[in-house]
Each structure stands twice: as structure tokens, then as C-alpha cells.
Amino acid sequence: MDAPVLLLRIGLIVTAGAERNLYGLGDASILDRYVAANMVAGVAEKVGDDGKVEREVESQELLAAVRRLVQSGARMVAVIFANAWRNSANERLAR
């Protein structure tokens, strides 16, 4: 029996390219179960595997993503960037 669908009004901002897989293999199982797929926005930023910031998140792109999510119904927005556990500088900039 499939788990019930419970779409929360939350938006996710992730590293561009991870919108469907959320850093895993294949489509993320939470999409369209807990978070609507259209409530995930990718922004260009990069922290390398060594923790070095290779591309800072740009404030205008981030703000546009937040606005789009809020206009789509998000009541909370979470920022979850790749490799932030190695260096959270881009996530801190996103605050």
C-alpha cells in the first residue's frame, strides 16, 4: 500500500541540477509525496568536494527563486545546497 500523499506548502531551493534528484540517484521519493515537484527551484552555486566555494550564490537569482516559490504558494522556504556540510558559506549568504 502506498503511503498517503501529504503535500506541504514548503519550497526548496537547491543547487541547480538537483531539482529532481535532490542529490540522490533518480527522482527523489519525497517529490510529489511531501513536496510538490514544482516547489523546488535550483540556483547556480557550487561548493566543491574539498569545501572550496567555486561559485557564490547570486542574490538576485536567489531572490527570484524565493519569489517564484512564494507566488506558487510556499509558506516556508528551505535552502539545501550541495556540499553545504563541507562549507556552509553559500547557505549563510542565502539567509
Average pLDDT over residues 84-90: 97
pLDDT in tens, 37-76: 999 999 999 999 999 999 999 999 999 999 999 999 999 9
pLDDT recorded at residue 46: 98
* 17: three-class secondary structure by DSSP: coil
* 33: three-class secondary structure by DSSP: coil
Query: Is a pLDDT exceeding 90 seen at residue 33?
Result: no
pLDDT recorded at residue 69: 97
Please give the grid coordinates belonging to residue 69. 516559490
Residues 6 or more apart in contact with residue 45 via CB below 8 angstroms? 15, 16, 55, 56, 57, 58, 81, 90
DSSP characters over 35-88: B-GGGEEEE--EE-TTS-EEEPPPHHHHHHHHHHHHHTT-SEEEEE-TTTTT--
